[in-house]
Amino acid sequence: MKKGISLALVLFALLTSCGVELEIPEGFALVEKSPEYTLVVSPEGLKMRIRTTKNYPVKDLAFWKEALETQLEQEGYVPVGKPRDFQAGGNEGVVFQWGVPYRGENYIFLTAVLVDRNTIIIAEAAGRKDIFDRYRESIVESLSTIRQR
């Protein structure tokens, strides 16, 4: 158990790019870290990415929540459940889960948005539904660990 805790702390320290930090969800590994984004992947290929962008035009979470929901529904994504609010790093956020049929299989696309005054933090995870279901809890739990550096 100590080895697992130590590894988690090392991975947490490594996942610090693009101005934000996030505990890597259990079962994932750091694949790429750049000034633009950080990417982690499960052994089965489920990907999770976190990035930031400017809050421009400067709007609140309610605005960006509605904008994201409208855009993805217009692109054909199907909501899976209702959006859920969460808190991380002193900011309010919202997380959506979307169903996406692709090549005869069902995929899940998770999108989480946190809004700070000048920054929007975006976390995304996507993969086949059967794989996503195995990691859902770990992914959602990691969202509450998001903090700006």
Would you give per-residue pLDDT tens digits along the chain (149 residues)? 444 443 333 333 334 445 788 899 999 999 998 888 999 999 999 999 999 999 999 999 999 999 999 999 999 999 999 999 999 999 999 999 999 988 999 999 999 999 988 999 999 999 999 999 999 999 999 999 998 87
CB 109 within 8 A of CB 79: no
Q: What pLDDT score does 117 carry?
A: 85
User: One-letter amino acid identity for 83?
Assistant: P
* pTM of the complete model: 0.85
Q: What pLDDT score does 18 carry?
A: 59
CB 42 within 8 A of CB 127: yes
- Match domain 2-148 to its CATH number in 3.40.1000.10, 3.30.930.10, 3.40.190.290, 3.20.110.10: 3.40.1000.10
Domain boundaries, the chain: 2-148
CB 39 within 8 A of CB 31: yes
Q: What pLDDT score does 77 carry?
A: 93
